[in-house]
Structure 1
Amino acid sequence: MKLVTIVYENEIGMIEEFNPNNLLRENKYDLDYFDFNNSSLSDFLDYLDFQDCEDYCYICAGSPNRLIKLINYLNKMTSTNIHLYNTNFEKLIGPYNLELNEYEDIDFNALPLPSNDRGTMQLENGISAMISGLYPNNLRNNLIKHLYVENLNLLTNINSTIFSNMALNSCIYIEQPFNEIPDEENYIYPIFESENIKSKIDNNEFVAISKNKLEEDIKYTIDTGEVFNSNFISGYIDYSIVSELAFNNNRLFIFEEGIYQDYLRNIKITSNINAGYQEIVIKLTAINKPENLTNVKTPIYNLYPFCIRMLNLLKSEKGVFITPYTTYKYPPKNNVSDFHVIGIIKDDLSVVYSIKTGQFYKVNEQFIYLLEAYLKDELDSKEIKMELQDNYDYTLKQFMELIKNA
């Protein structure tokens, strides 16, 4: 069996596959799609076995620098022949030529390439996730996205099963400066110095917060809708730990004295630097047992860091957030999870933010009032009908149209 996929490698070594549905002539090309962001090296090897794949071919748009290292590594690990071709269908890696005629009429120039700054954005988002411990909800638990290592010497002591269970698109940060990496070809993940991480903390872009202070701040936000960010921070160090939301375990910190769950080194997983992946997962499961947690967290704990980032983005020290979980005109509702817009009142400015598109929309006070009712399923309430009176149907229709398009 032969599987073919089209990929693009950006400037920081992240590899993205083109979804076959995005090709101009739908259903014409038989293309494979394997998610580099949410799958590990071990997952991919299992996938090849499951598919009974004899040949797996990457057609790469752009420069396949890291992809070449990955393919060379894979060819040592599997009986499947891994091939690499460029968009001119010139073979770069492979034991023999593949028959690829059916793909040669693809217009690669018409494919939707990622933006030029995508790699920079991925680095920024990744650093924020690694410092805070907050990763996307769709990311699988215990899939390692970031490995933070004290020095280069420790790399050779890390158990190989750790690397096998890192996401194919993940990276390693080294704390101590280095000029070159010995045996670099053996490491299939991008390696960066941690200078950007340390500078964000030294510059107070990310700060530590105690559990008690966080609970006080969040209770105030629930009661009033108000969020404060007087120092314009981007987030909190180890927020996932302090808030007790640390069930994803998508990062590891490895130091001479052991492996930790958190950046501040308050939770040591093991003193054994060479601990295997399964041993670490078992220990993390014990650490994160529900009975070890003091409170059942309300959904606002997930949303609160987002509110802090929004204030930083808006360059505002405080704002009132209209969400299902905060109080404005109506009491909070914690059983709401499916929403894509929130409201923000900043001084005399009211805006709606679309989580789906990342766009801000300037609105009036009435829209904010309706937005809260919408988020809390109160649009047909007596209060709303009295407020709008004869304009109820028309105003509601206009409102819902705007929400739909936001």
Structure 2
Amino acid sequence: MNSVIYNFVREDSGIIQSIAIKPKKNVKVDYFDFDNNSIEDFLDYIDFMNYSTYIFVCINTSYRLQKIIDFLNKNTRGTRIKYQQLDDFIKEHNARFEKDINQLLEKEKEKSNDVNLRFENGYKAYLTGMYPDSIPSGVIKHIFLEDISYFNKLDLSVLKSLSINSCIYINNDFEENIEIFAIVKKITDFNKIKKKFLSREEIITSLKDFVSSGIVEFKESLILDYFNLLGMSKLHSLTISDGAIFLDCQKKIKLSNKVGVNKFNLQNIFSILGEKLTTSKELSAVAKVYPIFVAVNASFNAYPVKFITPFNRGKYLAKEMQNSDLANFSWFGFKKGKECFVFNLKNRRLFRVNNLFLDIFEGIIKNEVDNDINQSVLRDVRRLLLENERSFTDIE
């Protein structure tokens, strides 16, 4: 077996992250992504690396880490996993670090997102079934438990499918004697999120209306179970209620009549249901990006918003878009009252423009530029789209 390895971690409101701390002394240091990998992935990884001991060195106070280590040690194939405070590590090894550790920790804090916003975004992902593509299919990020005691009834294979930073949602407070290694949040913490309830058929109608008009007809910030109802989710969340497991929040897509079903059976049922719910080819691409326009529309509650995108009719017809085209989709425009804007998705830059700019912009993104367009203005538009060096600009 290989020797001891250390992973320096910090905990923020239950969220555990590896941090880039490297001691000068010759000790082996590891880094692991606890957000996008499952517990099973971590166990497989340390088994493959054949470590004798894996030590989490916590640089601050942790209330979750020991619970996680206890669970890992019950399921590891040989590697012993331990917990150590940073001060104890420094004393044991008389450790010095390549960079000032306090400066490193300050940088880590600056880089980390606002934790409340992170929890809110996580709950929105649970509500919609829409998760980042970076998360492998089948890694479970969130579970709603109608009764907290259901956690101990989950099959071991399901528990191992959780990420270390997974979150359990509950209705009320729970007794601490129920041993849960996951983060636990009450859904009442997220009451301000405005949700639109639509059936699968109503979602499809809404998509078609957007393609023909460029308008989102409601002001809620998200559509409940959107990805689940359209067969686009990847089994990143579960709802457990009435002794059964559901894919969706509304408990319309049942995966199992038993809480204790294993992950293999859940995955099989999920795959079968996904084939039945698959979105039509002509709406597949726009369906993936429609939630972006829903969210932007909701942010301007008092104003009607008209979108200019490749997916919808405007001055020009909608462009035929395939899923493969989404990798290159980075710009869209919109009108808010008399104001015009274009937005870059990849660097999140917003530009205020005028009507002429927006007309030319639409022609460019749809490959429909008129021959009589003023070439000087056309160059300005293309230059902005290529360079966009400033975070905000006015073009008159």
Q: TM-score normalised by the shorter chain: which range applies? A: 0.7 to 0.9
Q: 1:32 to 1:363 in 2, by over 3 A?
A: farther
Task: Tell me how far apart the structure 2 counterparts of residues 376 and 31 of structure 1 sit (CA, whole Å).
Answer: 50
Q: Secondary structure at the match of 1:298?
A: helix
Structure 1 residue ranges without an equivalent (≥5): none
Q: 1:58-88 CA distances to partner (integer Å, 9 max, x unpaired)?
A: 3333322212322233233333233444444
Task: Tell me how far apart the structure 2 counterparts of residues 238 and 394 of structure 1 sit (CA, whole Å).
Answer: 41
Q: 1:271 to 1:396 in 2, by over 3 A?
A: closer
1:37 aligns with 2:35: yes
Q: 1:130-153 CA distances to partner (integer Å, 9 max, x unpaired)?
A: 111111122211211111111123
User: Alpha-carbon deviation of 1:106?
Assistant: 4.4
Letter paired with 1:189: A
1:300 is aligned to 286
Q: 1:269 to 1:240 in 2, by over 3 A?
A: same
Q: 1:83-106 CA distances to partner (integer Å, 9 max, x unpaired)?
A: 444444x249xxxx9758464654
Q: 1:127-179 CA distances to partner (integer Å, 9 max, x unpaired)?
A: 1111111111222112111111111232222222211111111111123x234
1:189 aligns with 2:182: yes
1:239 is aligned to 226
2:15 is aligned to 14
1:220 is aligned to 209
Q: 1:204-245 CA distances to partner (integer Å, 9 max, x unpaired)?
A: x1131123322222112112222232xx31211111233332
Letter paired with 2:56: Y
1:170 aligns with 2:169: no
1:348 is aligned to 338
Pick from 232, 239, 259: which aligns with 1:273? 259
Q: Secondary structure at the match of 1:301?
A: helix
Q: 1:346 to 1:294 in 2, by over 3 A?
A: closer
1:73 aligns with 2:71: yes
Letter paired with 1:124: E
User: Alpha-carbon deviation of 1:396?
Assistant: 3.3
Task: Tell me how far apart the structure 2 counterparts of residues 36 and 133 of structure 1 sit (CA, whole Å).
Answer: 20
Q: Is the 8 A contact 2:5 2:27 kept in 1?
A: no
Q: Secondary structure at the match of 1:156?
A: helix
Q: 1:393 to 1:178 in 2, by over 3 A?
A: closer
Q: Secondary structure at the match of 2:312?
A: coil
User: Alpha-carbon deviation of 1:332?
Assistant: 2.3
1:110 aligns with 2:97: no
Q: Secondary structure at the match of 1:64?
A: coil
Task: Tell me how far apart the structure 2 counterparts of residues 43 and 263 of structure 1 sit (CA, whole Å).
Answer: 27
Q: In the comparison of the two structures, how many residue pairs are matched?
A: 381
Following superposition of structure 1 onto structure 2, how do residues 5-404 of structure 1 map, counting pairs within 5 Å?
5-11=7-13, 13-18=14-19, 31-78=29-76, 79-88=78-87, 90-91=88-89, 99=93, 101=95, 103=97, 105-111=99-105, 112-114=107-109, 118-175=114-171, 177-184=172-179, 187-196=180-189, 199=191, 205-229=194-218, 232-246=219-233, 248-289=234-275, 293=278, 295-296=280-281, 297-333=283-319, 334-335=321-322, 336-337=325-326, 338-378=328-368, 381=369, 383=370, 385-389=371-375, 392-393=378-379, 396-402=382-388
Q: Secondary structure at the match of 1:361?
A: strand
Q: Secondary structure at the match of 1:288?
A: helix
User: Alpha-carbon deviation of 1:270?
Assistant: 1.3
Q: 1:374 to 1:392 in 2, by over 3 A?
A: closer
Give the TM-score normalised by the residue count of structure 1: 0.83
Q: 1:216 to 1:398 in 2, by over 3 A?
A: closer
Structure 2 residue ranges without an equivalent (≥5): none
Moved over 6 A (4+): 403-406
Q: Is the 8 A contact 2:168 2:184 kept in 1?
A: yes
Q: 1:288 to 1:182 in 2, by over 3 A?
A: same
RMSD between aligned residues: 3.0
Q: 1:61 to 1:312 in 2, by over 3 A?
A: farther
Task: Tell me how far apart the structure 2 counterparts of residues 262 and 173 of structure 1 sit (CA, whole Å).
Answer: 14
Q: Secondary structure at the match of 1:387?
A: coil
Q: Is the 8 A contact 1:152 1:181 kept in 2?
A: no
Task: Tell me how far apart the structure 2 counterparts of residues 18 and 375 of structure 1 sit (CA, whole Å).
Answer: 41
Q: 1:284 to 1:167 in 2, by over 3 A?
A: same
Letter paired with 1:110: L
Q: Is the 8 A contact 2:305 2:335 kept in 1?
A: yes
Q: 1:327 to 1:19 in 2, by over 3 A?
A: farther
Q: 1:69 to 1:392 in 2, by over 3 A?
A: same
Q: Secondary structure at the match of 1:386?
A: coil
Give the TM-score normalised by the residue count of structure 2: 0.85
Q: Secondary structure at the match of 2:153?
A: coil
Q: 1:281-327 CA distances to partner (integer Å, 9 max, x unpaired)?
A: 111112222x5546233211111122111122233453111222122
Q: Is the 8 A contact 2:37 2:135 kept in 1?
A: no
User: Alpha-carbon deviation of 1:386?
Assistant: 2.2
